[in-house]
Amino acid sequence: MSKPILLTVDDDPEVLNAIERDLRQHFRTDYRVVKAASGAQALETITELKQRGTQVALFLVDERMPHMTGTQFLVEAIKIYPDARKVLLTAYADTETAITAINQIGLDHYLMKPWEPPSVRLYPVLEDLLSEWHARARPVFDGIRVAGNVLSQASFAVKDFLASNHVPYQWLDMDDEATVRELLSGAAGGAFRLPLVFFPDGTVLVQPTTRELADKVGLQTRAQKPFYDLIVVGGGPAGLAGAVYGASEGLRTILVERSAPGGQAGTSSKIENYLGFPSGVSGAELARRAATQAKRFGAEIITAQEAVEIRREDPYRKVILGDGTELTGYAVLIAPGMEVRRLEAAGCDSLLGAGVYYGAALTEAATYRGQDVIVVGGANSAGQGAMFFSLHARKVSMVVRGPNLSATMSQYLVDRIADTPNVEVLTNTTIVAARGDGRLESVTVANGTSGERRDLPVSAMFIFIGTAPRTSFCGDLVMRDRQGYVLTGRDVMTDGRPPSGWTAGRDPYLFETNVPGIFCAGDARHGSGKRVAAAVGEGSATVSMIHQYLQSV
Ligand SMILES: Cc1cc2nc3c(=O)[nH]c(=O)nc-3n(C[C@H](O)[C@H](O)[C@H](O)COP(=O)(O)OP(=O)(O)OC[C@H]3O[C@@H](n4cnc5c(N)ncnc54)[C@H](O)[C@@H]3O)c2cc1C
pLDDT tens profile 285-331: 899 899 999 999 999 999 999 999 999 999 999 999 999 999 999 99
Listing DSSP states for 495-541 in one string gives TTBPPTT--SSSPPPTTB-SSTTEEE-STTBTT---SHHHHHHHHHH
**Interval 242-288: pLDDT, tens:** 999 999 999 999 999 999 999 989 888 888 889 988 888 988 889 98
Of 10 and 342, the structure prediction assigns the larger pLDDT to 10
Residue 432: is it exposed, middle or buried by C-beta count within 10 angstroms (0-12/13-18/19+)? middle
Q: Are 122 and 112 in contact (CB under 8 A)?
A: no
Nearest-atom number in ligand 1 for the CA of 263 is 49
Burial 156-195 (b: 16+ CB within 10 A, else e): bbbbbbbbbbbbebebbebeeeeebbebbebbbeeebebb
- Note the pLDDT tens digit of each residue in 37-62: 999 999 999 998 887 778 999 999 99
Q: Please state, in angstroms and rounded to a whole number, the distance separating the CA atoms of residues 491 and 485.
A: 11
**178-188 helix and 39-52 helix, angle to the nearest 10 degrees:** 110
Which residue has better confidence, 411 or 182?
411
Q: Which of 532, 536, 542 to mutate to test the pocket of ligand 1 (most atoms within 8 A of CB)?
A: 532
CA distance 58 to 99: 19
| Dihedral over alpha carbons 415, 419, 422, 424 (to 10 degrees) | 40
Task: Calculate mean pLDDT across residues 179-194.
Answer: 61
Q: How far is the CA of 221 from the centre of ligand 1 (A)?
A: 21
Entry pTM: 0.75
| Separation between Cα atoms, residue 424 and residue 466, nearest integer Å | 21
Main-chain dihedrals φ then ψ at residue 435, nearest 5 degrees: -130, 155
- Chain segment 370-393, per-residue pLDDT in tens: 999 999 999 998 999 999 999 999
3-state secondary structure of 410: coil
Beta bridge partners of 50: none
Give residue ranges with CB within 6 A of ligand 1: 233-239, 256-259, 263-265, 267-268, 271-273, 306-307, 335-338, 360, 380-381, 384, 470, 473, 522-524, 530-533, 535
pLDDT score at 170: 86
The full DSSP string for 13-42 is: HHHHHHHHHHHHHHHTTT-EEEEESSHHHH
Gap from CA of 413 to ligand 1 centroid (Å): 19
